[in-house]
Amino acid sequence: MAPHENLEQWVDECAKMCRPDRIVWIDGSEEQKRALTSEALATGELIELNQEQLPGCYLHRTALNDVARTEHLTFICTRLKDDAGPNNNWMSPEQGYRKARAIFDGSMRGRVMYVIPFSMGPVGSPFSKIGVELTDSIYVVLNMLIMTRAGTEVLEQLGAAGEFTKCLHGKADLDLNRRLILHFPEDNTIWSVGSGYGGNVLLGKKCLALRIASYLGMQEGWLAEHMLVLGIERPDGRIMYLAAAFPSACGKTNLAMLRPPEAMRAKGYRVFTVGDDIAWMRIDTDRRLWAINPESGMFGVAPGTNAKTNPNAMTAISRNTIYTNVLLKPDGTVWWEDDDGDPPAKGIDWRGEPWTPDRKDDTGEPIPGANANSRYTAPLSQVPSISFRLEHHHGVPIDAILFGGRRASLAPLVFEAFNWPHGVYVGATMASERTAAQYGAQGEVRRDPMAMLPFCGYNMADYFEHWLRMGVRMVKPPRIFHVNWFRKDPEGRFLWPGYGENLRVLDWILARCKGEVEAERTPIGFVPKPEDINTEGLDLAPGDVEKLLAVPRDEWTAEMGRISEFFKKFGERLPAEMWAQHQALQRRLELMS
């Protein structure tokens, strides 16, 4: 194989700066993976779990201050500040490189620098992109081996001169004050230093497959989205595919591998999981939208995962899985809040401290055994519902796009946009309550357009424009819907059972796509007639469906002010169509009786 001179030169330069003792190229072999695992076990970076009950499974604990993405330390470094937009933290490339270099300098002394060539998307697909991550963390290497296609075959695909994203990661001293996650879209480069956590350091994921890829997608005419993709086979045998954007910890993984309710399964409904976090979507020669999942694994939220909510995930994570920040039980298995069965009588919590279920903090609140953002990393190939098209080079055709968030009020269970531009407005005006997946005040509602606020690598005004243009290029653009599984009653209880039962809502969506069902026209879009949502066998109180589908005019009118405040941040750059949609909605609300 002819050497890739640019790649070798770049590895050299990074090594000169970071000063590792050795450089090791990751080849993707089982032998190398085993050796690295042994080494991580020896240093305590990994803890071996009960190999009889959880074969190939390990536990990792992060530093206490390093348990979620740190959005306030994440920057887009473009020459012009306005190209990063009000949606991003910005630094000039010069300043970014300088500040990070000061932290990287000599930070790998006494450590090994691993070189991970990886492909986002099937190796060799024209849809895929190649990256190379340099890292001083074995945990990162082992995670990347699950999350991406990594190793020598990727180098072969890259050849002597192929394009790749330069991804440099170093743990440095894991100090929150010396942590930076920097993106240089104009150089196709990512520098991440001072963290050892998930989305901060598995650079193929949020950094490449969303921030850098969204920028490339804007230039090349495709979409990189924070979306799950799933196929639903209806009783007629036809499989339809949906892509859905929900913010972090708002249900993508769960929806992507939902188990149909018993009665629907008996009728012949089946679900095929394509992806649980990221979708790359292109318009193919048939002028329809096709999606691939660029990842090959899932980095899923552990708490709340159990045999009832997500049996497919439970099967997938019973072997070859890396657990991060969950509770360790005395028998060498793991547990988290709302896992199956009763809480264990004792264990070691995610901090590495002895734990019992009755432990309370200073305010009298129970101390959780697992971190609220504890995660599992598992190969998608182990998901029982995995799609047979996962490795297909151009993926699956998308019939519908869903946007959704966590809203205790306001947003109904489901509504359909009138058309593509209105759908873009619906996506652009999404909002959701903040979760543990990001550092910051939990529960606070923030605007999160298309669930991409933390992940759009350029000015979101241009992103909306890009979405609008994509619509015009398709013969039959996917229909766009908004869903909300999280509406609550005044007592604070979820009105909708969620999880597998969400298929009842998806079924209405598919029926709309096929023109099989009428709907109520409301100011915000088409809302189901209560009788068209199949609630057979659900334990709902009389009137609950009506509450779930209500469009409260006063709340929506109040929301309009918050939306226009958000839009104003983008100034002149916001597409006029967004304001036109906004005014049209305003008028429809005024006319509402």
- Within residues 247-276, the interface with Mn ion by CB under 5 A covers 248
* Contacts with 91 (C-beta within 8 Å, 6 or more apart), sequence order: 75, 77, 99, 182
- What SS3 class is residue 455? coil
Nearer to ligand GTP, 97 or 335 (CB): 335
Q: What stretches of 182-324 show up as alpha helix (H) in DSSP? A: 198-201, 213-220, 252-256, 262-267, 311-316
- What SS3 class is residue 184? strand
* Measured distance CA(127)–CA(415) in Å, rounded: 31
Which residue type sits at 322? I
Q: How far is the CB of 53 from ligand SPV (least distance, A)?
A: 26
Q: Which one of Mn ion, ligand GTP, ligand SPV, none interacts with residue 69, CB within 5 to 8 A by kind?
A: ligand SPV
Q: How many CA atoms lie within 13 A of 483 on its CB side?
A: 26
The interface mask with ligand SPV, positions 555-574, x = CB under 6 A, is --------------------
Q: Would residue 250 show up in a list of annotated catalytic residues for this protein?
A: yes
Query: Please, what's the largest Cα pairwise distance for the chain?
Result: 73
Count of residues interacting with ligand SPV (CB under 6 A): 9
Determine, following the binding rule CB under 6 A, whether residue 254 of this chain makes contact with ligand GTP: yes
* Contacts with 464 (C-beta within 8 Å, 6 or more apart), sequence order: 424, 428, 449, 574, 575, 578
- Within residues 299-328, the interface with ligand GTP by CB under 6 A covers 300-301, 303-304, 309
Q: How far is the CB of 254 from ligand SPV (least distance, A)?
A: 13
The interface mask with ligand SPV, positions 75-114, x = CB under 6 A, is ----------------------------------------
Nearest to 117 by CA among 105, 136, 135: 135
Determine, following the binding rule CB under 5 A, whether residue 277 of this chain makes contact with Mn ion: yes
The interface mask with ligand SPV, positions 238-257, x = CB under 6 A, is ----------x---------
Of the candidates 18, 250, 456, 513, the residue annotated as catalytic is 250
- What SS3 class is residue 58? strand
Determine, following the binding rule CB under 6 A, whether residue 438 of this chain makes contact with ligand GTP: no
Quick one: which segment of 181-189, 199-207, 347-355, 494-502 binds ligand SPV (CB under 6 A)?
199-207
* Measured distance CA(172)–CA(178) in Å, rounded: 8
* Cβ contact 299:322 at 8 Å: no
* Measured distance CA(175)–CA(5) in Å, rounded: 34
* Per-residue tokens: 106: 């000599």
Choosing from 4, 60, 61, 69, the residue that interacts with ligand SPV (CB under 6 A) is 69
Q: How far is the CB of 435 from ligand SPV (least distance, A)?
A: 8
Q: How far is the CB of 328 from ligand SPV (least distance, A)?
A: 21
Determine, following the binding rule CB under 6 A, whether residue 133 of this chain makes contact with ligand SPV: no
Q: What would you report as the CA-atom Rg of the chain, rounded to the nearest whole angstrom? A: 23
Quick one: which segment of 82-90, 198-206, 420-428, 465-473 binds ligand SPV (CB under 6 A)?
198-206
- What SS3 class is residue 30? helix
Q: How many CA atoms lie within 13 A of 23 on its CB side?
A: 15
Choosing from 246, 280, 323, 403, the residue that interacts with ligand GTP (CB under 6 A) is 246
Choosing from 58, 272, 280, 299, the residue that interacts with ligand SPV (CB under 6 A) is 299
Which residue type sits at 585? L
- What SS3 class is residue 117? strand
Determine, following the binding rule CB under 6 A, whether residue 294 of this chain makes contact with ligand GTP: no
Choosing from 96, 131, 199, 217, the residue that interacts with ligand SPV (CB under 6 A) is 199
Choosing from 85, 251, 457, 477, the residue that interacts with ligand GTP (CB under 6 A) is 251
Which residue type sits at 51? Q
Q: List, in sequence order, every residue forming a beta bridge with 74; answer none if it has no partner.
A: 181
Binding site for ligand GTP (CB under 6 A): 246, 248-254, 276-277, 300-301, 303-304, 309, 437, 485-486, 494, 498-499, 502
Supply the residues annotated as catalytic. Answer: 250
Residues that bind ligand SPV (CB under 6 A): 69, 198-199, 205-206, 248, 277, 299, 437
